[in-house]
Amino acid sequence: MATSYDVAVIGLGGMGSAAARHLAARGRRVLGLERFGPAHDRGSSHGGSRIIRQAYFEHPDYVPLLLRSYELWEELCRDSGADLMTTTGGLMLGRPESRTVAGSRESAEKWGLPYEMLDAGDIRRRFPTFAPADDEVALYEARAGFVRPEATVDAHLRLAARDGADLRFGEPVLSWAPLPGGEGVRVVTGAGTYTAGHAVVCPGAWAPELLAGLGVPFTVERQVQYWFAPRGGTAPFRPGRHPVYVWEDAGGTQVYGFPAYEGEGDGVKTAFFRRGTAASPDSLDREVHPGEIADIAAHLAARVPDLPGRFLRGAACMYTTTPDEHFVIAAHPGHPQATVACGFSGHGFKFTPVVGEILADLATTGATRHPIGLFDPRRALTGGAAVCSPDRRDAHEVTP
């Protein structure tokens, strides 16, 4: 049996890499295990950009975590020397009563966040790349922008390794289980068996297998990101002229997008939000099909008319979604030797640094000052009650 560690981090994507960094910075002996390579494109933490915002339509309870996350993003940029976050301003568009607009406004007002409300005429004058209908409005948040997922994972991994973490790639976890007597965990991979005082399990789309005993009905969905070369070039779509945005139509469909930025060539990225299809992480369809391209181009043509000029490329990724679309971050209810972080439902990456801090808190002290009650896996979930059944499986297995 291999050397024992203080904490084994299972999965080194967005959340796992952040947990490894925070744990190693606290002087813990950290083992990090990842089935693929560092900062890979086989899961959910890739695609060049993710929106970051504070006026949060998903639920006002996320805002305190976002405020801390912004602080930690700035700290991570300083410590790593990497360019990870760009502030562009952000528009949350739709009818006034839409979840995107009304929910964002509710969060902003509850927490005293600065924002502006714009009517359709205001939007057209200030941001001429957009063509809202007369009955649509937008909440504008100046502090919104985007972060870079691959570079963020790389930065967290580099800092974790600098502080002594033992990071192992190409080593999928086959099972983990409490040690007899409950003192620590045993983790089995294709390369060996390890013991640790605690496990932090961040399995991404492999949560349904590695956390089967948690009782949460996760759904893994295939999502597609698209890059277009706008008609007339990218100049009107550069930061300062074209913000990040989430736009909800009258039927509830949301599309989101980014400005053109350095490193993306002539491309401007866009995608539907939560319009995926059920998928398996081990057999994900990574081809982007002509019908999918035509669908999003038609949706954009009436809203961002110059964007769907020439299709450049697409990329498939995965959401791991809970029925209420809120996260799971908690001590495992059946196994106090483990902490879990999963089910980020397509809106989690902006929280990566603060989730890493929370996981380090829970793994080392069993508690955190951050408000995470919303993310308890034992909460009632539409589509099934998330009640842990410790006797379902003592070992949490996944096929290699």
> What digits encode the pLDDT tens for the residues 92-125?
999 999 999 999 999 999 999 999 999 999 999 9
Mean pLDDT check: name the lowest of 175-184, 241-250, 301-310. Answer: 175-184
Look up residue 168 and give its amino acid: R
Distance of alpha carbon 334 from alpha carbon 135, whole angstroms: 50
Distance of alpha carbon 285 from alpha carbon 276, whole angstroms: 12
CA-nearest of 242, 256, 238 to 346 is 256
The mean of the pLDDT values for the chain is 93
Look up residue 191 and give its amino acid: A
pTM: 0.94
CA-nearest of 201, 187, 149, 213 to 341 is 201
Tokens read off for 285:
């369809």
Please state at what angle helix 149-162 crosses helix 352-365, rounded to 10 degrees. Answer: 40
What's the pLDDT score for residue 3? 59
CA dihedral over 394, 19, 372, 254, signed as positive or negative: negative
What's the pLDDT score for residue 390? 29
Q: Is 289:326 a contact under the CB 8 Å cutoff? A: no
Rg (CA), the chain: 21
| Neighbouring C-beta atoms of residue 110, cutoff 10 Å | 13
What's the pLDDT score for residue 399? 28
What's the pLDDT score for residue 398? 34
Check pLDDT > 60 for residue 272. Answer: yes
| Neighbouring C-beta atoms of residue 243, cutoff 10 Å | 26
Check pLDDT > 60 for residue 382. Answer: no
pLDDT band at residue 299 under the 50/70/90 scheme = very high
What burial letters (b/e) apply to 282-316, b meaning 16+ CB within 10 Å? eebeeebeeebbeebbebbeebbebbbbebeebbb
Residues 6+ apart with CB under 8 A from 61: 371, 373, 374
CA-nearest of 194, 209, 174, 211 to 30 is 194
Beta bridge partners of 193: 188
C-alpha distance across the termini of the chain, in Å: 20
Please state at what angle helix 352-365 crosses helix 14-25, rounded to 10 degrees. Answer: 50
